[in-house]
Chains A and B, each alone.
Chain A
Amino acid sequence: MSEITAEQVAHLAHLARIDLSPEEITNLAADLGQIVESVAKVSQVATADIPATSHPMPLTNVFRDDVVVPSLTVEQALSGAPARAGDKFRVPAILDEE
């Protein structure tokens, strides 16, 4: 039985930058426990001699020539910004301190 604790979920939520409510954390701990128990069976057949496949097609060396292509205009680049100042994106203070 894979136990996933509320503390683990809270830690994962912090890593994933999602401000989960306590109720969501409780529910997700239960959901994840069940899901993880079910998906953990992959390790039954994944023996050391089997190579991992991370790409479905075996391509290698796909490169682009070093040639400049037009960028977006500044207005296009900033068109979706929730907040801007001049031609820059504006974000709240980074550090949590006085």
Chain B
Amino acid sequence: MTDLTRLTAAELAAALADGSVSSVDATRAHLDQIDAVDGDLHAFLHVAHDAALAAAARVDARRAAGEALGPLAGVPIAIKDVLTTLDMPTTAGSKILEGWVPPYDATVVARLRAADLVLLGKTNMDEFAMGSSTEHSAYGITRNPWDRDRIPGGSGGGSAAAVASFQAPLALGSDTGGSIRQPAAVTGSVGVKPTYGGVSRYGAIALASSLDQVGPVSRTVLDAAMLHDVIGGHDPLDSTSLTDAWPSMTGAALAGLADGALTGVRVGVIKELAGPGFQAGVTARFTETLALLTAAGAEITEVSAPNFEYAVAAYYLILPAEASSNLARFDSVRFGIRVDPDGGKMTSEHVMAATREAGFGPEVKRRIILGTYALSTGYYDAYYGSAQKVRTLIQRDFDAAFAQVDVLVSPTAPTTAFTFGDKLDDPMAMYLGDVTTIPANLAGIPGMSIPIGLAPEDGLPVGLQIMAPAHQDARLYTVGAAIEKLLEAGWGHSMLDQAPALARAPRTATTVQGAR
């Protein structure tokens, strides 16, 4: 019998639709895989065994009754723990929210349920999505399925590791400065940050409101497109939600799988996102991919984005500033833990301060203090105000580039997955790793990461980032699917088929908590 966990979401959806596979079987296969490997990887913070099987059974029953169901009905999915869920705890990787079960579903979660996907559980992440390694989760690290001593990227390391280790065919992520794309790159999976406003943020625990965007995590471009079609579209509960009439992303991905899809596509290579800071194997795979594109009829142009030099600096002012305010609500009054101070009068103020001291991890505190500083009287103009201007300059750089080309490409991350602890003591080094992904968030444009091979020096996945103008998410799916097809044709298999076998490590009650 086929291992149902090895199917793509599109393949599984087809098998469910034609009745050859039941959702209960598919769900059980993924739950079994979770039970088998997640004791070591720790991609999940919560697994909803019973609820998932019950939901799958309901889908099977409705399908048996002849009901018309959506394209992904019955397909299992993992949810990043930044999204609120009615029936599962939601912690955003933070101790301050330990055990919190929200009284509402995020809009994207409600849309998954309405489309009859089966929710497997909640995935690990850097606390409040602050990080690029998932080392900042209060509930322990998540390991990279390619090398258990390396980071799975972050903040969405759990979602990326879950799909890369076949624990789920699909997952949801959130991307504020690369938290979907960079984990995809370092785990050999696919991740998409939609145009800002393309997917609702209602129920996504805010990190930086003007940068956050929820998006799909998968193993193929087509799968990501199918998931995008389910979660995307206008939501009146999110005032920044776009009212565009979006084309079918699935249709766009299928168009990319047709022959000649890359002919005449103008591809821009951003001069500033390459060079000495980039690992040799990353540059090598990136260069090879450009050659493949040329051979497939694409026109490669080098473009310059001079203000990208300031992107990381602007990002690390805007993000902490917005985060310092967004995280103020974690105050021990309406939800979350409450911690009493050691001494002194038990006032509301002291209890809040003691709770936030105990409930937030070091990186969260660092960014809250930095953001508080950037917004303070006397510093606002120089820091936050200037960062907002840099944002304008970066948008202008993108406008100029997209006047010449259809899509822009770069390596998704400067390096392959680094080992645990490498950058923990050097926050600035960690921040600089986001240099490639941050500009898209600052400008609000869509970006995608797809795997383009392994770096020769360490045998670890390398990602290609593709960016399109705002509202042109469909273009990413067409170009991304075309490149994916081209690469797989060359390899003779998919990227993740070459991932090493995973050690069996049963998930037990003790390993759930992780070791940190």
Contact of B389 among A8, A46, A89 (CB under 8 A): A46
Most chain B beta-carbon contacts within 10 A, residue among A14, A38, A46:
A46
Assess the A80–B335 pair: CB atoms within 8 A. yes
Interchain CA distance A4-B443 in the complex, whole Å? 30
Assess the B369–A32 pair: CB atoms within 8 A. yes
Assess the A83–B373 pair: CB atoms within 8 A. no
Contact of B347 among A41, A76, A92 (CB under 8 A): A92
Q: Which residues of chain B come closer than 8 Å to A9, judged between CB atoms?
A: 369
Q: Using CB atoms, name the residue of chain A closest to B307.
A: A45
Assess the A19–B337 pair: CB atoms within 8 A. no
Interface size in chain A (residues, C-beta < 8 A): 56
Assess the B313–A41 pair: CB atoms within 8 A. yes
Interchain CA distance A94-B331 in the complex, whole Å? 13
Assess the B348–A92 pair: CB atoms within 8 A. yes
A56 lies within 8 A of chain B by Cβ: yes
Q: Which residues of chain A come closer than 8 Å to B356, judged between CB atoms?
A: 16-19
Assess the A53–B388 pair: CB atoms within 8 A. yes
Assess the A43–B382 pair: CB atoms within 8 A. yes
Q: Using CB atoms, name the residue of chain A closest to B386.
A: A46
Contact of B388 among A13, A21, A52 (CB under 8 A): A52
Interchain CA distance A82-B351 in the complex, whole Å? 12
Assess the B197–A57 pair: CB atoms within 8 A. yes
Assess the B236–A64 pair: CB atoms within 8 A. yes
* Minimum Cβ distance to chain B for residue A67 (Å): 11
Assess the A76–B353 pair: CB atoms within 8 A. no
Contact of B373 among A4, A80, A91 (CB under 8 A): A4
Q: Which residues of chain B come closer than 8 Å to A43, judged between CB atoms?
A: 382-383, 386
* Minimum Cβ distance to chain B for residue A32 (Å): 6
Interchain CA distance A21-B313 in the complex, whole Å? 28
- Contacts of A26-48 to chain B: CB distance below 8 A: 28, 31-32, 34-36, 38-47
- Main SS class of interface, B: helix
- Contacts of B330-370 to chain A: CB distance below 8 A: 331-338, 341, 345-354, 356-357, 360, 362, 365-366, 368-370
Assess the A53–B395 pair: CB atoms within 8 A. yes
Assess the A45–B353 pair: CB atoms within 8 A. no
* Minimum Cβ distance to chain B for residue A63 (Å): 9
Assess the B346–A57 pair: CB atoms within 8 A. no
Assess the A81–B335 pair: CB atoms within 8 A. yes
Contact of A17 among B337, B352, B382, B383 (CB under 8 A): B352
B101 lies within 8 A of chain A by Cβ: yes
Chain A window 57-85, contacts with chain B (Cβ cutoff 8 Å), 1 for yes, 0 for no = 10100101000000010001101111100
B278 lies within 8 A of chain A by Cβ: no
Assess the B376–A12 pair: CB atoms within 8 A. yes
B161 lies within 8 A of chain A by Cβ: no
* Minimum Cβ distance to chain B for residue A95 (Å): 7
Q: Which residues of chain B come closer than 8 Å to A50, judged between CB atoms?
A: 389, 392-393
Interchain CA distance A76-B383 in the complex, whole Å? 40
* Minimum Cβ distance to chain A for residue B206 (Å): 14
Q: Which residues of chain B come closer than 8 Å to A81, judged between CB atoms?
A: 333-335
Interchain CA distance A4-B383 in the complex, whole Å? 14
Rank and list the top 5 A-B pairs by shortest CB-CB distance, nearest first: A56-B444, A80-B335, A46-B386, A52-B388, A82-B338
Q: List 8 A-B contacts (CB under 8 A).
A: A19-B354, A24-B365, A41-B313, A45-B393, A54-B210, A55-B210, A59-B240, A93-B346
